[in-house]
Amino acid sequence: MTKPKLYLFTISHYCEKACWGLEYLGVDYEPVVVMPGEHITIAKQHGLKRGSVPYLVDGDHVVQGSDQILKWAEARSTNGKSLDCDNPEAVEMEQRIDHLVGVHVRRHYYSEALVEHSSTVRPVFMRGLSLPNRIKLWLAWSVIRSKMIEGMDLGKEQGIESGNIVVAQLDWLDSLLADGRQFLLGGAQPSVVDFSAASLLAPYVSPPEHSLAQVITLPPRLSEQVAVWRTRPTLQHVLSMYKAFR
Ligand SMILES: N[C@@H](CCC(=O)N[C@@H](CS)C(=O)NCC(=O)O)C(=O)O
């Protein structure tokens, strides 16, 4: 039987969330690393309107978005584990984390890394690509970089703005953990809320169990800022989630 294919960018924290969830739920898949641009062509070939990764193709069935992929995977869990993907409270928290933490951690990072230190970003995109695609990416890098800067509205001020949005979400997540709960939803097992927060915040703390821990270099201002945040309960929770479950 052919495995479902998960199309992804190595650097994407949403793709990390999908991979981690699939593995936690015991759902086998084949990761397919794509290059920016190619992700849109392949998505269209599968009838998707938007190119955004991750998307998963299982025969004729296509599922796009880390949230939908985890929901799909939970229904196919082979080990009896669940992520509470059908719990409305969990879904609401997941959406908040995806849209505010996911988007703004990414903009916070790229606003400095891609704008001022783009040679540290390119090798991360190249990991896992075929040799011809690595060459293509190398040649197309300045165009890809410009499109990303425009598409995500990156820049110094924008980076500061996104950093402030993340801080407000860290305040919220810290307040949830303040009653001593082990997991963000309050149960005895991790849920999709923990998986979302952990994978989307991981770039700030580089957990040793993360496949990019030795690969991503944080740019200097961001590095200084997140060093101060590292002791926050939520970022400690990210590290514990990786240690226990990744
Ligand atoms: N909410 C979506 C966000 C996915 C997303 O923003 N993917 C980015 C990579 S981090 C992407 O594919 N960007 C390129 C594009 O949208 O064409 C999810 O959870 O999967």
Report pLDDT for 1: 76
- Is residue 104 a contact partner of residue 165, using CB atoms and an 8 Å limit? yes
Specify whether 13 is located in the same domain as 103. Answer: no
Q: By alpha-carbon position, which residue is closest to atom 11 of ligand 1?
A: 52
Strand order in the sheet with 5-8: 30-33, 5-8, 55-58, 61-64
pTM over 0.85: yes
- Is residue 122 assigned to a domain? no
pLDDT means over runs of 10, the chain (246 residues): 94 98 98 95 95 96 98 96 97 98 98 96 95 95 97 97 98 98 96 98 97 94 96 98 98
Specify whether 59 is located in the same domain as 99. Answer: no
9 CA closest ligand 1 atom index? 9
- Is residue 61 a contact partner of residue 159, using CB atoms and an 8 Å limit? no
Specify whether 44 is located in the same domain as 93. Answer: no
Handedness of CA 33, 34, 36, 39 (dihedral sign): negative
Q: Distance of CA 137 to CAs 11, 68, 123, 169, 202, Å?
A: 14, 29, 10, 34, 25
Specify whether 163 is located in the same domain as 241. Answer: yes
Give the C-alpha separation, 242 to 232, whole Å.
16
Give the C-alpha separation, 235 to 216, whole Å.
17
Report pLDDT for 98: 98
Report pLDDT for 82: 97
* Residue among 7, 8, 14, 93 whose CB has most ligand 1 atoms within 8 A, to mutate: 14
Report pLDDT for 172: 98
Q: Which domain holds residue 111?
A: 88-117+154-245
Strand pairing class (5-8; 55-58): antiparallel
Last-in-domain residue among 39, 74, 109 = 74
Report pLDDT for 208: 97
Q: By alpha-carbon position, which residue is closest to atom 13 of ligand 1?
A: 52
